A and B are shown apart, each in its own frame.
Chain A
Amino acid sequence: MTDPRQPIAWRHVAYLLLSLTMVAAPHVFYLRWWTIALVSALIAWRAYLGYARLALPSRWLLILVALGATLGVFISYRTIFGRDAGVALLVVMLGLKFLETRTLRDATLLIFLGYFLVITNFLRDQTIPTGFYMLACTLVITATMISLHYARAEPAFRVQLRMAGVLLAQSVPLMLVLFLLFPRVPGPLWGMPQDTFAGTSGLSDTMTPGSLSKLTLSDAVAFRVKFESSLPRRRHLYWRGPVMWDFDGRTWSVARFFYNTPLPKTEGEAVSYEVTLEPHNRRWMFALDIPGKVPPLAFISGDFQIYANQPVKNRVRYDMLSYLNASYGVSENRFALRRALNLPAGTNPRALELARSLREKHADDLPLVEAVLRMFRDQNFFYTLEPPLLGDHPVDEFLFKTRAGFCEHFASAFAVLMRGAGIPARIVTGYQGGDMNEFGNYLIVRQAEAHAWVEIWLRDRGWVRVDPTSVVSPLRVDSGISAAVPATDPLPFMVRGDIEWLRRLRLSWDFMANSWNQWVLGYTPERQRWLLGSVGIDNATWQKLTAILFFLAGVIVATLTALALRQLRRRVRDPVNAAYLRFCDKLRRKGLSRDPTEGPVDYARRVEGSRPDLKPAVAAITRLYVALRYGTERGTEALMDLQRRVRQFSA
């Protein structure tokens, strides 16, 4: 059946159903219920019609359903474009096309739609399991496509599956060449749909009590870091993120303006490393305190926040440099310092009261800070992932009532006390720590490691980092969050490290995921340039790339063609015949080729006629060959004798 107009068989409908269901299945979790119901109904209808061999519905009815579904999508999603609406529309159209699939041409169209649907799955998820599942889908779709093109006897479906496997496996080399060398254009070509990154987790530009502890429930990776030299001590691993200046009594938020950049005074060696940041749909890029350079397409603010020019919607990789010992902000702008003292009137009165009394006790800043920290350490403050809810004056309630909180509570309370005592203070959010993966020798920083700390400004010393959480729970900083919180707290599974083999397992898994990210998902134009540079192809223009690409593709196609031709030749399995053919081949090179219709005895006579010197050897070989192939001789000695004589024979 290879005429495009030819109707397809019921079993092909079943194969199409199988492959399309496989591809569409992952979308089920994201589609609206009515879409699923509609498509299921359409598919069930088609399956019934195919099974009962009934006529398919009229095109007008289908157009009506299509219009209705489009309207439904618009009502549900307020648009018919974008990822979710687009996928919903595509799935509905697939179901409708399925219902009117009569001929090979329709089926082929469905197959192509199926391939396209595979790629829509990657909009949501590009992990290794998805990759393999989609490979399986591609295999089934390809097998279905093959099954459509038999004309007479159609073997069992597993034969098609195997053939599809062979076809795809043979395509891998060319795929690799294309993947590595196809001139990459940095995306996007046009605007991304708004909803593409809904639901990605990460730090935000505000901090309220409970916002960070919610984040610690996620074991999603925030970024991975590969250090060029040795890993710094764990308590230096403060990954700087949003810096918050403004406080409304409950919520800290990031300043909307920036003061000019004060240059840091650095001491000691810089730490160099490479960060691979997961997309989080915000502009922050994370670096160790304090960053010493700015990655491309980004800038740094006066409070050392690194901002990307665009929200980070794709995994980005950047080289970084940080100074662990540096003083900065000694000559801080006075407007900034004033801003760092602002407190909203009428909120948290008891905290301000406490601050004022502390100021009276301690004239100098440092003893005051010491006193506050001592209070946190000594007065039964408790570090927990599940802090009690707080009311209108959260700092007051925390300090004097609940005394149980997560880092944001301690940081917020500390900053409020500092400002109340007249010391400029700001909140820095980010991540603290990280999980060393010894398989890939890189550090994984997860959302669960989100942290908040405080920077206070001291005269002549500039901004100084104070982490009140480390006072309450030294383990948080020294050993990580899983050691710091009670075992009953709901930490994500991946963050817990209690079971050694499990930890190793998840680390090796993360290593694979990271390699996948680095080489498959994160194969960017820069990476391509770097790779080509490392094999000696510098400043690869797209012309150069295309030339190399075509050359390698040509080599691969030639190899595949040669392989195909080899398969077309008949293999000689019989060792007797094989030996004799070798003998004939040796003579052929001397211009005495055997006609395929010439018998061995005649051939030997002819050869002996023109080359009397070869007579003994030719006669012996021919006698052995005839005895083995046409006579009753079955001995292995005779065969070995023949093979030996053929080997030694030279014309």
Chain B
Amino acid sequence: MSRTIESVVAQVGSIILGKEHQIRLAIACLLARGHLLIEDIPGVGKTTLAHALATSLGMGFQRIQFTSDLLPADIIGVSIYNRDTGDFQFHAGPIFSQVVLADEVNRATPKAQSALLEAMEEHQVTTEGETRHLPEPFFVIATQNPSYQVGTFPLPESQLDRFLMRIHLGYPDSEAERALLQGENRRDLLAALKPAMRPQELAALQHRAQQVHSSSALLDYVQAIADHTRRTADYVNGLSPRAALALLHAARAWALMAERDHVVPEDVQAVLPAVVGHRLVRAGDVTKADGVDIADHLIKQVAIP
């Protein structure tokens, strides 16, 4: 089972060079049935990663480019009057796909953003009084430009919470960049990509991730972390219960990828930057510290019980 995960990691890694940790986080996020937010400047391979992941995992893939004139209907779909039947017929939007890449999500207006986020949360969409279920598994990879860029609508903090993880890709190191420059066109590689996993396998892995044992000592640790963020004046707001749960789910998936049947504190610490980075804001911090900084600070503050 884990061999299939490793093969996915290897396959995606062959396209996104030098970013194995981020790829692993992305897969863990998927195994934990969470949604992923990739935040970085354009051109570092956000879209490529999403595409490669979807293809390697053998899932249907749709891409929505968010723009300022994007309407909720453009995401969800629209009912159109059918003159033959005298009826409204629903034309499904791109959201009805297993992997949805929401590109540059912060370029769209809040209204369009919230349509996406509601779908992510509910795993269903409701239009004109009718509820429609989204496919399973349903996995949104949203990409976002750093918020200080002009003409953006940064996602509100309350809605950031709906992403299980936020990762940064960052510039490739020089070795990876050299390989990138020397290698083939990424687009061609992507087109040649074959699924490395069957949908049933993915579903089974997701199920197993839920089964990973988390002892009470570990739960104590997760609670201690959440508690600490709520208590200290270091952060504007503490972690929500949903965030604590997200931390646990992510840690379970991470443990599964490390072929363990139980979670250890190191798993929590490994996923912590990706899970809490977008949920916590350092108090009095105008520059909005990086997720890694926040997590490092947090890890150093909370003793493992």
Q: A–B direct touch, CB within 8 Å, in complex?
A: yes
User: Which of A's residues lie within 8 Å of B, judged by CB?
Assistant: 577, 596-602, 626-627, 629-632
Partner-contacting stretch, out of B135-143, B167-175, B196-204, B210-218: B210-218
Cβ of A631 and Cβ of B300 under 8 Å apart? no
Across the interface, do B264 and A597 meet the contact criterion of CB distance under 8 Å?
no
Which of the residues B214, B215, B304 comes within 8 Å of A599, measured between beta carbons?
Answer: B304
Question: How many Å from the CB of A605 to the closest CB on chain B?
Answer: 9
Choice from A597, A600, A626, A631 contacting B299 with Cβ under 8 Å = A597
In the complex, A481→B180 CA distance in Å?
122
Interface CB pairs A-B, < 8 A, 15: A597-B303, A597-B304, A599-B266, A626-B262, A627-B262, A629-B217, A630-B214, A630-B215, A630-B217, A630-B262, A630-B265, A631-B261, A631-B262, A632-B213, A632-B262
Q: Which of A596, A627, A630 has the most CB of B within 10 A?
A: A630
B300→A597 contact, CB < 8 A: yes
* Residue numbers in A under 8 Å from B266 (CB-CB): 599, 601-602
CA distance A626 to B262 in the complex (A): 9
In the assembly, what is the distance between CA of A111 and CA of B225, in Å?
47
Q: Judging by beta carbons under 8 Å apart, are B264 and A599 in contact?
A: yes
Q: How many of B's residues come within 8 Å of A, CB to CB?
A: 18
Give the complex CA separation of A517 and B170 in angstroms: 89
Which B residues from 275 to 290 make CB contacts under 8 A with A?
none
B264 and A600 form a contact (CB under 8 A): yes
A residues near B217, Cβ cutoff 8 Å = 577, 629-630
- Whether B265 and A631, one on each chain, are in contact in the complex, defined by CB atoms closer than 8 angstroms, is no
Interface residues of B in 76-125 (CB under 8 A from A): none
A599-B264, A599-B265, A601-B264 given as contacts; is B215 within 8 A of A629 (CB)?
Answer: yes
Instruction: Tell which of A599, A600, A629 has the most Cβ of chain B within 10 Å.
Output: A599
Contacts A631-B261, A632-B262 given; indicate if A599 touches B303 (C-beta within 8 A).
Answer: no
Closest-CB distance, B266 to chain A (whole angstroms): 4
Give the CA-CA distance A577 to B262 in the complex, in Å: 17
Compute how far the CA of A577 lies from the CA of B216 in the bound complex, rounded to whole angstroms. 13
Judge if B67 is at the interface, Cβ distance under 8 Å: no
Within 8 A of A (CB), among B181-223: 213-215, 217-218
Are A630 and B218 CB-contacts (below 8 A) given A597-B299, A597-B302, A599-B304?
yes
Question: How many A-B pairs fall under 8 Å by CB?
Answer: 42
**Bound Cα distance A602, B218 (Å):** 15
CB distance from B27 to the nearest CB of A (A): 21
5 new A-B contacts, CB < 8 A, other than A596-B303, A597-B300, A630-B213, are A597-B302, A601-B264, A630-B215, A630-B262, A630-B265
Q: What residues of chain B have their CB less than 8 Å away from a CB belonging to chain A?
A: 213-215, 217-218, 261-266, 269, 299-304
Chain B residues near A599: list those with CB within 8 A.
264-266, 269, 304
A631 close to B303 (CB less than 8 A)? no
* 7 A-B pairs with the lowest CB-CB distances in the bound complex, closest first: A596-B303, A599-B265, A599-B266, A631-B262, A630-B215, A601-B266, A630-B264
Q: How far is the CB of A624 from chain B (nearest CB, A)?
A: 13
Chain B residues with CB under 8 Å of A632's CB are 213, 261-262
Which residues of chain B are near A631, meaning CB under 8 Å? 213, 215, 261-262
* Of listed B215, B261, B300, B301, residue having the most chain A CB within 10 A: B215
Task: Establish whether residues A626 and B213, one from each chain, have CB atoms under 8 Å apart when the complex forms.
Answer: no
Q: Nearest Cβ in chain A — how far from B50, in angstroms?
A: 31
What's the nearest-Cβ distance from chain A to residue B263, in Å?
6
Contact A630 B263 (CB under 8 A): yes
Chain B residues touching A, majority SS: mixed
Q: Which of B261, B302, B303, B304 has the most CB of A within 10 A?
A: B304
* Chain A residues, Cβ within 8 Å of B215: 629-631
A597 contact set on B, CB distance < 8 A: 299-304
Q: Whole-angstrom distance from the CB of B145 to the nearest CB of chain A?
A: 34
- Measured between beta carbons, the chain B residues less than 8 angstroms from A601 are 264, 266
Chain A nearest CB: distance from B78 CB in Å?
Answer: 50
Task: Please give the distance in Å from B305's CB to the nearest CB on chain A.
Answer: 9
> What's the minimum C-beta distance from A583 to chain B, rounded to whole angstroms?
15
Q: Which residue of B lies closest to A598 (CB)?
A: B304
Name the residue in A597, A601, A602 with the highest tally of chain B Cβ atoms < 10 Å from its Cβ.
Answer: A597
CB distance from A117 to the nearest CB of B (A): 49
Measured in the bound complex, the distance between the Cα atoms of B262 and A629 in whole Å is: 10
Q: Which residues of A contact B214 (CB under 8 A)?
A: 630
Please report the C-alpha to C-alpha distance between residue A629 and residue B220 in the assembled complex, in whole angstroms.
12
Give min CB distance, B1 to chain A, whole Å: 18
A251 CB to closest chain B CB, in angstroms?
90
B218 contacts which chain A residues (CB < 8 A)? Answer: 630
Which residues in A have their C-beta under 8 angstroms from that of B213? 630-632
CA distance A215 to B132 in the complex (A): 110
Residues of B within 8 A of A600 (CB): 264-265
Question: Is the Cβ of B262 less than 8 Å from the Cβ of A596?
Answer: no
**Taking the nearest CB of chain B, how far is it from the CB of A465, in angstroms?**
88
Nearest B residue to A626, CB-CB: B264
Shortest CB-to-CB span from B60 to chain A, Å, is 37
Complexed CA–CA distance, A599 and B262 (Å): 14
The complex places the Cα of A631 from the Cα of B217 at a distance, in Å, of 10
- Complexed CA–CA distance, A597 and B301 (Å): 7
Check if A596 sits within 8 Å of B304, measured CB to CB.
yes
Instruction: Quote the shortest CB–CB distance from B259 to chain A (angstroms).
Output: 13
Query: What is the CB-to-nearest-CB distance from A593 to chain B, in angstroms, rounded to a whole number?
Result: 13
Q: What is the chain A residue whose CB lies nearest that of B305?
A: A577
Contacts of A598 in B (CB 8 A): 304
A632 and B255 CA atoms in complex are apart in Å by 14
Q: How far is the CB of A595 from chain B (nearest CB, A)?
A: 8
CA distance A598 to B302 in the complex (A): 10
- Bound complex: CA A577 to CA B261 (Å): 20
CA gap between A599 and B299 in the complex, in Å: 10
Q: How far is the CA of A629 from the CA of B214 in the complex (A)?
A: 10
Closest A residue to B213 using CB positions: A632
Write out the residue numbers on chain A whose beta carbons fall within 8 Å of the beta carbon of B300.
597
| Cα distance, A630 to B262, chains bound together (Å) | 6
Cα–Cα distance between A205 and B108 once the two chains are bound (Å): 118
Q: Which residues of B contact A602 (CB under 8 A)?
A: 266, 269
- Chain A nearest CB, measured from B226 CB (Å): 15
Question: Cα distance A614–B265 when bound, in Å?
Answer: 23
How far, in whole Å, are A631 and B213 apart by their CA atoms in the complex?
7
B208: shortest Cβ distance to chain A, in Å? 14
**Cα A10 to Cα B148 with chains together (Å):** 63
Alpha-carbon distance A631/B299, docked complex (angstroms): 22
Report Cα–Cα, A626/B214, bound state, in Å. Answer: 11
Across-interface contacts of B301 in A (CB, < 8 A) = 597
Q: Which residue of B lies closest to A622 (CB)?
A: B264
Whole-angstrom CA separation of A626 from B304 in the bound complex: 13
> In the bound complex, what is the Cα–Cα distance between A632 and B212 (angstroms)?
10
Task: Return the chain A residue nearest B303 by Cβ.
Answer: A596
The interface residues of chain B lying within 8 Å CB-to-CB of A596 are: 303-304
Chain A residue at smallest Cβ distance from B299: A597
In the bound complex, residues from chain A placing their C-beta under 8 Å from that of B263 are 630
How far is A627 from B260 in the complex, measured between Cα atoms in Å? 10
Q: Roughly how many angstroms separate A598 CA and B265 CA in the complex, as a whole number? A: 8
**From residue B87, how far is it (CB to closest CB) to chain A in Å?**
56
Chain B residues whose C-beta falls within 8 Å of the C-beta of A627 in the assembled complex: 262
- Per the bound structure, the CA–CA distance linking A632 and B211 in Å amounts to 12
Docked pose: A286 CA to B242 CA in angstroms: 91
**How far apart are the CA atoms of A134 and B266 in the complex, in Å?**
61
C-alpha gap A627/B300 in the complex (Å) = 24
By beta carbon, the residue of chain A nearest B260 is A631
* Cα-based distance from A175 to B228 in the complex (angstroms): 45
B276 to chain A, nearest CB (A): 15
* Complex CA distance for A632 and B299, rounded to whole angstroms: 25
Q: In the assembled complex, how far is the CB of residue A623 from the closest CB belonging to chain B, in whole angstroms? A: 11
Interface centre among B264, B302, B303 (most CB of A within 10 A): B264
Question: Which chain A residue lies CB-closest to B300?
Answer: A597
Closest to B218 in A: A630
Min distance, Cβ A260 to any Cβ of chain B, angstroms: 91
Residues of A within 8 A of B304 (CB): 596-599
Nearest to B263 among chain A residues (CB) is A630
* Complex CA distance for A597 and B299, rounded to whole angstroms: 6
User: What is the CB-to-nearest-CB distance from A140 to chain B, in angstroms, rounded to a whole number?
Assistant: 40
Give the docked Cα–Cα distance between A602 and B264 (Å): 10
In the bound complex, what is the Cα–Cα distance between A362 and B150 (angstroms)?
A: 148
